[in-house]
Structure 1
Amino acid sequence: MSTPSPVPAPASSRSHVWVWMVLLALAAVLGWRGWIWWRAQSAHEHAVASGTVERLDALTGRVDALRRDQRAQLQRLQQADATNRVLRDELLGIGQRAALLEASLARLADPDRHGAQALRLDETELLLMLGEQRLLIAGDLDGARRAYALASGVLEGVDDPSYLSLRQVLVQERAALDALGTEPRAAALARLDAFAQQLRMQPPPAAMDTVPANAPWWRRAFGGLVQVQPTDRAIAMHGSDRRQAELGLQIELSLARAAAERRDVDGFRQAIGRADLWLTRLWPESPALRQQRDRLQTLAALPLSLPLPTLGSTLQQLRQLRAAP
């Protein structure tokens, strides 16, 4: 009996296998190529992103550098502006000084004003002002007389007839200064100092309050034990009371001296009045006390201001004449 031969596969089935195999190979190739393309595209995008970030960083750095340069330029511009303002102010000052110098030279060169005459008038005005200030502030009557004498000598060199009346006023003011005698404030201060000096040399009340030999027997017997004082005022005889009273008297005399220095008549008289009260605390009722109080009243009545209504009239008239066109 014979063996049956195998049945061959149909040709269409084998062709389908080959087709699927080709398709699978083609799909694998396409997948591999797609994966390679994706990898390349991803790398390209990453490179592009990295380049963009680097460019942004570079741009940011350049912007920061530009801002720093801009701030530096702004500071330089501000410094240049400040320098220009300083230079402008200096130029203005130089221009003003130049204008003043030109005006001064024009006044000196003006034939109508006579430069030498203008200088003499300036010197006369300065001497008159110095004399007035020395008299009013320092009480230096002799210095004021010397200054007025120098002003008179300088004014004699001015040959302009319009200043003739000024020389006459100056002569009258000098005559009033010569007739003044002693400056009132200096005289008051001298008499106040003499009073204070004499008061310090005066003996204490105990040395003055001795019992007379012809006194009654009870006064001679009990004069050293019993002291009689007025009821309206207490006399500081010993210890701290007398030292305080002496200190108060010296303070009031110092206040009176300070008021006289500034020509304060009211303050001077008030200080003298308070010194009189302290004097009654230091000395008992006696002819010596009345004499000292009379001296204080005389001091309080002394004038402190200058009885010179013409003081400064020459200087005022000189300024009016020079200010006239």
Structure 2
Amino acid sequence: MVSPRRRSLGWWWLLLLLLLAFAGWRGWLAWQTRQADARAQIVGAEQRMALLEESLEALRRDQRSQAQRQQQADATNRVLRDELLGIGQRAALLEDNVSKLADPDRHGAQALRVDEVEMLLTAAAQRLDLASDLDGARRSYALAAGLLNGIDDPAYLSLRQTLAQERTALDAVGADPRNVAAVRLEAFAATLHALPERTAAVAPESRPWWQRAFGRIVDVRPTQGAVIVEPADRAAGLAAMQLEFTLARAALERRDADAYRAALARVDAWLTRLWPDSAERRARREKLRALKALPLTLRLPVLGSSLQQLRALRGAR
């Protein structure tokens, strides 16, 4: 039979175990609560970080768009500034032209005529310099003279005389020297095929006795300045000479006198190699030397004097 004292101790131990169990359960609940709060704080921090990153990215996009709009605005401002400068320059030119036309000492119709005369003289000079167009230059000079005759200002009297002298000198030129040289070169090239390929036969009685004796056995030819007789070599030489003619024509088109004369010198060398010495060959070489001496450009000291005098007169007035 259990004593009352042991029974009371058992109850006390049971109560203590219950208290310990309750305390452990409460501690576990508190730990779970703290863990849930910590996880919630972490999740909230991550969400706030994500929101901050989105905000920063949005700010960066706004900054980039603002920079692009600023660049576009700067470019637009530059374009507008250039347009304003251009408008200002055009306005200044218009004002200058209006002031010149409104000048009582400068009649508007006369100023326009003088401008046309200067334009025609400039066009004539460019035709001569760039294309050697003598006919076009003469027409431009004729039109300029007609306009200049319609100006009744006595200050342009000397200019009319200078223009008449320049027209006379230009009419005296005749044809373009380059065209004259080209025609004569073509005619010279066309006559080369008529040259004799062999020297005239010498009468047997006029030969020395050793040539009459051994002429049918031995053919003696000088080695220096020998003429090409082999058909293949002659064909190659003729082709080379035609190439030199082509180079001379190209030099004529460029008005390159040095290259033109050098090509004709090489043609002369081929003449001595392809055809033997004869009166016809000497005549062709004389014509070739005359061709080399031909001028290729216009040599008129008075050309351009009217334009210079007109510009000097306008600048002085």
Choose the corresponding residue for 1:280, options 272, 276, 285. 272
Choose the corresponding residue for 2:158, options 152, 165, 177. 165
Choose the corresponding residue for 1:302, options 294, 305, 311. 294
- Equivalent residue for 1:65? 58
1:48 aligns with 2:41: yes
Q: Which moved more, 1:313-322 or 1:208-217?
A: 208-217
Counterpart residue identity of residue 234, structure 2: R
Deviation at 1:292, TM superposition (A): 0.9
Counterpart residue identity of residue 308, structure 2: Q
Distance 2:43 2:59 in 1: 24
Residues 299 and 47 of structure 1, relative CA distance in 2, 3 Å threshold: closer
Residues 284 and 88 of structure 1, relative CA distance in 2, 3 Å threshold: same
Counterpart residue identity of residue 316, structure 1: Q
5+ residue gaps, structure 2 = none
1:107 aligns with 2:100: yes
- Equivalent residue for 2:70? 77
CA offsets per residue over residues 164-204 of structure 1, 9 Å max, x none?
Answer: 2211211121222233344333322222222112224x154
Percent identity, aligned pairs only, is 56
1:183 aligns with 2:176: yes
TM-score normalised according to structure 2 size: 0.81
Choose the corresponding residue for 1:256, options 236, 243, 248. 248
CA offsets per residue over residues 259-280 of structure 1, 9 Å max, x none?
Answer: 3343333333332222111111
Deviation at 1:306, TM superposition (A): 2.5
Q: What is the Cα-based RMSD across aligned positions, in Å?
A: 3.4
Residues 241 and 55 of structure 1, relative CA distance in 2, 3 Å threshold: same
1:153 aligns with 2:146: yes
Give the secondary-structure state (helix, strand or coil) at the position aligned to 2:191. helix
TM-score normalised according to structure 1 size: 0.80
Would the aligned equivalents of 2:195 and 2:281 in 1 still touch at CA under 8 Å?
no
1:314 aligns with 2:306: yes
Q: Where do residues 232-243 of structure 1 align in structure 2 (5 Å cutoff)?
A: 232-243=224-235
Would the aligned equivalents of 2:166 and 2:306 in 1 still touch at CA under 8 Å?
yes
Counterpart residue identity of residue 236, structure 2: Q
Distance 1:83 1:117 in 2: 44
Distance 2:117 2:217 in 1: 74
Distance 1:228 1:108 in 2: 89
Would the aligned equivalents of 1:229 and 1:235 in 2 still touch at CA under 8 Å?
no
Give the number of aligned pairs: 315
Deviation at 1:121, TM superposition (A): 1.8
Choose the corresponding residue for 2:187, options 194, 217, 226. 194
Q: Which moved more, 1:175-184 or 1:294-303?
A: 175-184
Distance 2:130 2:201 in 1: 49
Q: Where do residues 203-214 of structure 1 align in structure 2 (5 Å cutoff)?
A: 203-206=195-198, 209-210=200-201
5+ residue gaps, structure 1 = 1-5
Q: Which moved more, 1:134-143 or 1:273-282?
A: 134-143
